[in-house]
Structure formats: C-alpha cells, structure tokens
Structure 1
Amino acid sequence: MDYSPRIVDAELTAMLAGLPAIALDGPKAVGKTATASRRAGSIIQLDDPDQLALLQADRERITRLSRPVLLDEWQTFPAIWDTVRRSVDHDARPGQYILAGSASPTKAPAHSGAGRIVHLRMRPMAFSERQLTPPTVSLGTLLAGPPAAIEGASPLTLEDYASEVTRSGFPAIRLQTKEYRSATLDGYLSAIVEHDFPEAGYAVRRPATLRAWLAAYAAASSTTASYDSIIRAATPGDAVKPSKATAQDYREMLTKLWLLDQVPGWLPSRNRLKGLGQAPKHHLADPALAARLLRVSAETLINKADIGPAELRNGPMLGALFESLVTLSVRVYAQAAGASVHHLRTHGGEHEVDLIIERPDGRVVALEVKLSGTVDDKDTRHLRWLADEIGPDLVDSAVITTGKVAYRRTDGIAVIPLGLLGP
C-alpha cells in the first residue's frame, strides 16, 4: 500500500531533530508503524514473540542498533520504557528512539520519562490528509491573525461528507470497498472488546453490555451527555444496569487504548469569562467507529434523522458525526500549530461554541460547526457573543460548513467548507 503523507510527519521529523526519544501514541491501525518506520534506522516489533524474546533476554541491545530505534507496540514490554530512559540519561543526543504504542501499559513504567521521552499524538486522517480537494484556508493562518482574506471553492457535497464519516480515517480501512470496510470495522470493534480490554488488564464479564455501552457512547457523539444518561441509553428496560464504577472502568480502558478523544471544556487563562461548564464533549477516535456501532451507512445518515436514543441528542446524527469529523481534523491541524482544542458551554446552556482553539498565549480562534451550506445571523450569534465578552483575545472566528464557497461575512466571521480547511 502506498504511503499517504500525514501532517504528523513534519512534527515527528522536527522532534527527532531536537529530542532523544519520542513516544508516538494513537489507536491501533492509525498508521503509527508506517509513519515511524520511514524515519527508523532499526525496528523491533514487540508484538512479534520472537523479537520480544530477544529483547527480554538483552534489553541493552537497543543501545547497539542503528538510530533511531523504533520500538513498535512497546506497551507489550513496559520495562523497555525505563531502558530507553536510562539510555538517554547517558546519551541525550537527538533522534535515538521512537516508542510507538497503541495502549497505555497495564503496569506503568517505574519512571514517567518526563524530560527524556516526549509524547506525540497521532490521530486518524484529518480531512485534508484524505486528498479529496485542496484546502485553501489554513488554521495556522487563522491562529496567527490578524483576520485574513478567505476564499476558495469546494466540489464536495453533503453525500461526500457523509461518505467520509463512514469511510474511516484509518488508512488501511478507508481503502477497502464498502462491504469489506464494514466487516473490518466490526472486527476492529470486536477485537477491542474480546482482546484489547483483557490485554489492557480489564476482564470483560459481559461483552454484550460493553458493546451496548459503546453504542450509546457513539450516539452521544458531540454532546456533553451525562454518563448516567449514557448508561440508561445502553440498557433500556434492564432492571440491572452497569454501575458508575463499571462505566468508569470502560472509560479508563478506552482512554488507555486511545479510542476516546473527548474535548475538554475551556478554562480561559487571559480573561474573566465566568460560568463555564467543564463537562467534556464526547467523541470516539474515528467517527466511522461511531457510525458502525450505530449500524448506519452514509445513506442512512442522510435520510434518517432519529438515530440513537432520543435522550442523548436533539438533532440529526449526521450533524453530530460531521462535527466529530471536523473536530478530528481541527485537532490534527491545531496540534501541528502548537495549539490546544476545547469547547465552550455556559452552565445553563445559554451559549455554546463548538470548538475553541487556544494558542500558547491564551488567545483563541472560535469555530462553530453547521451541517449546511448556508450561514445566517442565528448561526453566528454565539461567536458574536464571545467576541463581545473577550474582545481582542478572540483572534478570529468561523463557521465550518458542508457548503461550496469560503468567504467572510460582513460581520468579519469566516464561512469555511470543511473540505477547504487545512493545517
């Protein structure tokens, strides 16, 4: 399979030029091995029993190999983390080790590696990485300010965006035909329940209950639904429901497997904005996983609005999963720009902004997401409210749409089709 360039490529290359060891984190099948292998001088695949046995017999072997040394699926042998840490304590030259992991180990390393091993997150493919149409608007430029001209035209339709929601951002999965893609996603989800959970240290007593919880979590995509409501939605009519402790175990394990990618509530550092809620917005790592858990195709998402438990949402499921696709993409672009991603919601829900991208200095770009090709004043009211509240701390603002044209409104707010937004 030909390698598809990733935005994280440049980040990894830059980090290897200045740091001795990088931990490349992300879910299975996201492309970590392919990306890291292109920069590695030596590769040890720790999910291979023979290679693992050799390393267990002689951990110091890694210090004699060509650099960088890629330790793939390092979490299967957590002791190697401390070996790397000690190695860079003695020799801190840059570009020595890449530790690629698809789970946090059950038994944490003795030392965190702080100051020696730096983490880099790899997510499924952002929209621009899928090469459907060239982006004309850069999130990095929006963050840099001042507001610049916005332009560009996109050929993509609502059907194209629905297709990308279900097609997946996992490189190998998205290249399969629709029929085989569904089967592969089913296998991926089954492996999480039947293999990855036990391997990460949690015995699943009732796999069907975990699957139901995952489906309910998928239905809560792009919401701040409470965990109690997710549990109720997962067990309608059941007298015995998973406890909060069980739900907490599910969340912890899925977080260890990099499969939950919640967006935290925004805590401003530069202004006095008060009354903000801190509940996270729920997202799975790839919206295609959510769609498959809900057993919906692109056609179903377009033609049926009432998908999933009504308790968990008040809008069409396609809108929620389109927001997940936007969020995935924005997180990839923001990471490359050194920014962090949050959402804003006041305690009473009077004001909400889907995505707040915060620069290191605390100034922000605010984005709303709309499943439509048109934008009116009602769609920008929360962005205008935020501008009034924080003034110059708002560098720029935009509505991300499924439309055809990128432009600036007369009030200065940008309108950008997702297909035209890039890093």
Structure 2
Amino acid sequence: MFGNNENVKDVAWENVENNKGGTINFRRKKNKMRMVLKAVSVILIAAVSGAVTSLYIVNKRYPQMPDVTQTKNLSDKKIAASANEEHTNNVITKVADSVGPAVVGISGNIQNSPKSVNKSMGSGVIFDANGYIVTSYNNIQGAGEINVKLANYGKELKAQIVGGDVTSDLAVIKINAKNLPVIKFGDSSKVRVGDLAIAIGNSVDEEFTGYVTAGIISSLNRKVKGVNSYYRILQTDADINPANSGGALCNEQGEVIGINSIKIGKNRSKEIEGVGFAVPSNEAKEILNQIVKYGSCVKPSIGIRGKHVVLDNKSNVKGIYVQEVAKKSGAEVAGIRPTDILLEIDNQKLNEYKDFTQIIEKHKIGDSIKCKVWRSGNTMDVNVVIGDDAKER
C-alpha cells in the first residue's frame, strides 16, 4: 500500500482527509528537528573536550597556581605592616625633632690621680628655662669641672652642681643662660607595658651629634631599694648607654616619661642586651624639686633601721623588728628602742617591710604619726615626728 517501506521513515503526516475520490493523500517532509539536535550534540561534545584538555594543560604546566584571595590578603598584610612601620618612623622623627633642642651633652674631668684625668660623658635635659638641667648623678660624680653643650650651639658652657641623689642616680646642674628650650614631663603612671619608648641623648664629641634609640616599655614593676625607701623604675628595650644616660625617655606625644640611667642598668641588667632603665617622670619631678630646694633628696624617715619579722603563729606578732635607732631621730625622742617591734603605723598593720616604707613616704617631714610598738610581750602607743632621712644616717 505504501510502496517501498524504506521511505516510510522519511515521511510524516501533513494532512489526512477524505477526498471525493476516496483516497488518502501523503506528503514527504524532512525531519529538521533531529538534524538540529545532532548539531547541538556535536558542539557540546567539542566544548567539553576542549575544557578538559585546557584544564589538563594548565595543571601540567602550572601545578601551584596561588589562590587569588590568599594572595590579596598577603598583599594587604604587607601594605599594613609597611604603613605601620612608616608611621612609627615618623613618630620617632617628630619626637626627636621636638625634644632634641632641650637635650644637652655633658662632659666632666674626673681626677683619678695627680697624673691621671678621665673625661666623663653623658647627656642631660633642660627642665627649667633659667638653666636648670637634670642629668645622671653618675655623669658628674667626682667631676672637678663640668661643661655643657647645647644643641645647635657652638661653644661649651660651664655648669655648677646644684645637688644630687645617689640612690635614684639623679643630679641637677645649672648653666648661666635664660630662655632655654625645655622638656615637657608626662604622667608616668599612665605608661603601660608595650608603649613606644624613645630614648634621646647627646654625646659630647667633636661633631656633637644627637643619639636616638627606640623600643617599648618592657616592665613597670622593677624597684630600686634605697637606704630607707624604694624607687620604682621603668624597664625598656631601647638602648640605654653612656651617650644617652641622663637623657630623656619619651612617649609618642614627645613627653618625657623617664630619665635614662646607665648606672641603674649596670647594677641590674648585668649588661644584658635589650635591658635598659629609667627613673619614672613622676618620681623624678619630686626628687628634682627637692634637690633644687634643699641641694639633696629629702626622704621622710622616723629614724630606724630594721627588717620584717613574724615571732610565731600563736602570738600573731608581726611587724618591723628595730635593729638600730638614729640619734635625735623622731623614733628615739618617742622612746623606741632596738629590739622593739613596730606592729602598726598610722593604724595600718605592717605585713611586709614595703608597707612600712610606703606609709612613711606618704607623709611629709614634720608630720606626727601614731605607732603601735611591741616590747617584751607588752604593746604601747607612741607618737613619732617624721624627720629627714639624710640627717639621720
């Protein structure tokens, strides 16, 4: 009926209707949809094959291609580190420029023998526009002649010793000059471990160049024991050496937070690299005021030497065992004797020796304080007038 069967697959129904002749008409039609699908399939296969081939080649030739995100993060970190370093360098430069004019070089001739004279060198800081300069006591100790060289000033000026304090390693000298640039003291109680520390000094040599080192504050709790008191000191990894000893230790704002001391450093660091010390500004200011006023550092004292003891746990006797009483001191006048034990001062118990020194340091010379004394099993209360430790040694 259909003729050759192999042509059936190439025909499609276009229209079916009953003609008057009673016959059914067919019309051949190419299947274009199947041809389109075949073409699309070929293109997809080619695309996938090309992608796989390309990936293989890339991995073969470039097996360690970096992650773009990771590379960007590393780049950002480098940029941030570079910016931070640049900021720190700018801060150091600004502080050196602002504080430098008030930092001086100091030299002195020390007569060791009739034929031997050594020249000491160090730094100092102008803290009063009328010529008052703070320096390290070690710089001027034993010096018969002291010379000061100002920044940007050609010749040396003679200086006179006003006074000093061996324990804190601070001294005050004065030159005949006025309207000098001065430093600004900062509040050392606000200093924190990790803060930027900039040490500035000047060495006295032919060129008289400034000497600047920088680091951080390493510790705040170091102490120096004096004859009858403690001094708190700042520890830094900024280099403290003979060139900047007596110079300024500054914060980021250009404020002086300490006075550098090579002597304290030698006594405690045992010349370990990266360990330097400075007298905190708050304590230095108080000492300087006393030196300018009295020629020495006046320390309040009741006139005893002793140590902390605990007799036994049952009696609960704990306090300062009196080993020595200074003549004409407040303690002697009040009747305190060696072998007595001070249990309380100002109604405060003495659990450690530092309690004793801290209470005394809060008072002024001439103040009267109440002391509870233990003697041979009995206690008594006495009033003691505070005097000057220097006069009671």
> Do Structure 1 and Structure 2 share a fold, with TM-score over 0.5?
no
More relative contact order, 1 or 2 (CA 8 Å, 6+ apart): 1
TM-score range, shorter chain: under 0.3
Larger strand percent = 2
Tell me the TM-score normalized by structure 1. 0.21
Larger helix percent = 1
